[in-house]
Chain A
Amino acid sequence: MEAMLPEKLFVKGNEAVAMAAVEAGCRYYFGYPITPQSDIPEYLSRELPGLGGEFIQAESEIGAINMLLGASATGVRCMTSSSGPGISLKQEGISYMAGSELPGVIVDIMRAGPGLGGIDASQADYFQATRGGGHGGYHIIVLAPDSVQEMYDLTMLAFDLSDIYRIPAMVLADSVIGQMKESVVANPRPQTALPEKDWTVRGRGDGEMQKVVKSLYLGDGEMEAFHWKMHARYQELADKECRWEELQTQDATLVVTAFGSAARIARTAVTMAREAGMQVGLLRPITLFPFPKSAYAALSRRCKRFLDVELNTGQMVDDVRLSVARDAEVDFYGRPPGAGSLPTPEEIFEQIKKRY
């Protein structure tokens, strides 16, 4: 792939996702048009046929997620992408994939909602993403890039984590990250050790055991055992796979915390605070599930003031409050999604000054 991708690219976040999927070995994409993510299917409809892969523009998001389910059951790397209204439709299939322990990457370029909402940047689907979204009680892996470079790198990571843990993985961004252009180093696919997919349906072969991919558990105790098995796997994810970024937190007396596009704005505000001589830092979770609780717990032992900033009326702040030490104070500042509601760095800086 190195020969096809220049070392440094200047591309949109959505295009970086599509390029990273190809680099990660994904040859099967199923999707449906919706703003602000359509650059992803457009790119892959051009590229995949020439790579021996398959691109299908499905009849609906429901069709697309179930094609993903079927392809994944045969063991191939595959991806779908959408935004709010379409991700809602996909929840049925995501629940079945979670119940069937199927890997697969789902890209969610969030837009404003509920309902048709709008196409502006939003973080209002944090709960939908991190709580599973569909029925039955499950989680998916959720990665939150804050740059085009991370769109590229975290998409490749999503494929690896999904294969390792047999849990669907979501790349959760929004129209700011998806639509903006930045330079990207087209890193090669990481050489991660991956488990053999010995559970796939490929035709039973001669003399082999029948393989079944399913989520129906009717036997006494079977369903309960499944839930405890997955519970332990989520714990393993939390122990091994939490990722976050800390910026100038060592001496911070106030830490701003935010993910994705809100974190980009907060980063500038933190820089402004530092230039004003204030001891302010930034904690940015990169994995939203598993949520980096330990990072908050450790930091809140020495820093007692947190300001959580989101493009919604307060969702991740619940997880932050559950993670920090009991004597730490967590304030919230948010702007719900919609046209003209993206906060400025100055606005966040004002919020910092109020609490500092």
Chain B
Amino acid sequence: MKQVFTRPESLKDVQTHFCPGCHHGAVHRLVAEAIDEFGIRSKTIGVASVGCSVFLYGYFDIDVVESPHGRAPAVATGVKRARPDRIVFTYQGDGDLAAIGTSEIIHAANRGEDITVIFVNNTTYGMTGGQMAPTTMVGQKTSTSPYGRDHTKDGYPFRMAELLSQLQGVAFSARVAVNSPKNVMQAKKMIKTAFRYQVEKRGFSFIEALASCPTNWGMNPLAANERVGDEMIPYFPLGVYRNTSNL
């Protein structure tokens, strides 16, 4: 019998703490598959951020440094400059990357640091209990926007893949989703491209992955999955926003 599906070597054989229907697991798997397929597990260093993504070291069987909230791109900069022959990636949520860590992400991208950033956008702070995030949709109710996000007071949700695509240090910037088999296949291709660019020392690569957070959205997993397609993708369109091989 031919084995057609197995756990990536870069992931540990453990249960995760992620809620049912959460998309973090799918994104973890795609990152692990990319690491496996490039055969770079032994020289990859992950930078964990603060939030649901902090347990990176519990799930990935790679070396990991934990970063303060939002600072992962600065920590990754230090790691990569000291060990330029290693593959370094950060894995950050939307509160981490697009609120408290805006300075660090923009400057690491602008320096063209040779790192890969995996940005998981689920429009809310997951770990702290569903507060309004920089990517929370206009009108979306959260525990700190009980009347819905009001753009006249809270601004508009950040489109980070587009924003970073304007920086010359960025080699690759794309937005993906994992809400359907088709999108998962496309996401895998994009994540592989992001890591390939780093392997080829082409500069900063960025993947924004749209994700569900059923628990904090107050939805069941299926409804949450549908929301990604129905509400998020129209505002956060999937696609490649910067690709230096096209310039």
B-contacting 9-mer, from A59-67, A158-166, A271-279:
A59-67
Cβ–Cβ < 8 Å partners of B104 in chain A: 59, 62-63, 66
Q: Taking A68-B78, A78-B82 as contacts, is the C-beta distance between A203 and B67 under 8 angstroms?
A: no
- In this complex, which of A64, A214, A215 has the most chain B Cβ atoms within 10 angstroms of its Cβ? A214
Q: Are A214 and B57 in contact (CB under 8 A)?
A: yes
Q: Are A214 and B68 in contact (CB under 8 A)?
A: no
Q: Are A70 and B48 in contact (CB under 8 A)?
A: no
Q: Are A67 and B81 in contact (CB under 8 A)?
A: yes
Q: Are A204 and B78 in contact (CB under 8 A)?
A: no
Q: Which of A56, A72, A203 contacts B43 (CB 8 A)?
A: A203
Closest to A104 in B: B78
Report A172 CB to chain B, min CB distance, Å: 23
Q: A206 an interface residue at 8 Å Cβ cutoff?
A: yes
Q: B62 an interface residue at 8 Å Cβ cutoff?
A: yes
Report B34 CB to chain A, min CB distance, Å: 16
Q: Are A56 and B83 in contact (CB under 8 A)?
A: no
Bound CA–CA A74/B80 (angstroms): 9
Q: Are A93 and B71 in contact (CB under 8 A)?
A: yes
Cβ–Cβ < 8 Å partners of B183 in chain A: none
Cβ–Cβ < 8 Å partners of A213 in chain B: 64-66
A4-61 residues with Cβ-Cβ distance < 8 A to B are 28, 30, 54, 56, 58-60
Cβ–Cβ < 8 Å partners of B79 in chain A: 70-71, 73-74, 201
Q: Are B75 and A69 in contact (CB under 8 A)?
A: yes
Q: Are B78 and A66 in contact (CB under 8 A)?
A: yes
Cβ–Cβ < 8 Å partners of B63 in chain A: 201-204, 210-212
Q: Which of A30, A67, A201, A206 contacts B45 (CB 8 A)?
A: A201
Q: A76 an interface residue at 8 Å Cβ cutoff?
A: yes
Cβ–Cβ < 8 Å partners of A206 in chain B: 42
Cβ–Cβ < 8 Å partners of A323 in chain B: none
Q: A100 an interface residue at 8 Å Cβ cutoff?
A: yes
Q: Are B68 and A92 in contact (CB under 8 A)?
A: yes
Q: Are B82 and A28 in contact (CB under 8 A)?
A: yes
Q: Taking A69-B78, A72-B78, A212-B66 as contacts, is the C-beta distance between A202 and B83 under 8 angstroms?
A: yes
Q: Are B65 and A73 in contact (CB under 8 A)?
A: yes
Q: Are A30 and B78 in contact (CB under 8 A)?
A: yes
Interface size counted on chain A using CB atoms at 8 A: 39
Bound CA–CA A57/B203 (angstroms): 18
Closest to A93 in B: B68
Bound CA–CA A317/B66 (angstroms): 38
Cβ–Cβ < 8 Å partners of B86 in chain A: 74, 202-203
Q: Are A56 and B75 in contact (CB under 8 A)?
A: no
Bound CA–CA A119/B144 (angstroms): 42
Closest to B47 in A: A70
Cβ–Cβ < 8 Å partners of A201 in chain B: 45, 63-65, 79
Q: Are A215 and B42 in contact (CB under 8 A)?
A: no
Binary contact track B36-56/A, C-beta < 8 Å → 1, others 0: 000001111101100000100
Cβ–Cβ < 8 Å partners of B66 in chain A: 96, 100, 212-216
Q: A195 an interface residue at 8 Å Cβ cutoff?
A: no
Q: A205 an interface residue at 8 Å Cβ cutoff?
A: yes
Q: B77 an interface residue at 8 Å Cβ cutoff?
A: yes
Bound CA–CA A233/B204 (angstroms): 40
Cβ–Cβ < 8 Å partners of A56 in chain B: 77, 81, 111
Bound CA–CA A212/B65 (angstroms): 6
Q: B30 an interface residue at 8 Å Cβ cutoff?
A: no
Bound CA–CA A244/B182 (angstroms): 69
Q: Which of A28, A62, A63, A204 contacts B42 (CB 8 A)?
A: A204
Closest to A203 in B: B43
Cβ–Cβ < 8 Å partners of B232 in chain A: none
Cβ–Cβ < 8 Å partners of A212 in chain B: 57, 63-66
Binary contact track A213-224/B, C-beta < 8 Å → 1, others 0: 111100000000
Q: Are B65 and A70 in contact (CB under 8 A)?
A: yes
Cβ–Cβ < 8 Å partners of B61 in chain A: 204, 210
Bound CA–CA A90/B235 (angstroms): 37
Q: Taking A202-B86, A214-B48 as contacts, is the C-beta distance between A62 and B71 under 8 angstroms?
A: yes
**Chain A interface (Cβ < 8 Å from any Cβ of B):** 28, 30, 54, 56, 58-60, 62-64, 66-76, 78, 92-93, 96, 100, 201-206, 210-216
Q: A28-B81, A204-B42, A210-B63 are in contact. List 13 more A-B contacts (CB 8 A).
A: A62-B104, A66-B68, A69-B71, A69-B78, A92-B68, A201-B63, A201-B79, A202-B63, A202-B86, A203-B43, A210-B64, A212-B65, A214-B65
**Chain B interface (Cβ < 8 Å from any Cβ of A):** 41-45, 47-48, 54, 57, 61-68, 71, 74-83, 86-87, 103-104, 106-107, 111
- CB-defined A-B contacts under 8 Å, sample of 12: A58-B107, A67-B74, A67-B77, A67-B81, A69-B65, A70-B74, A70-B76, A71-B79, A71-B82, A96-B68, A203-B45, A215-B66
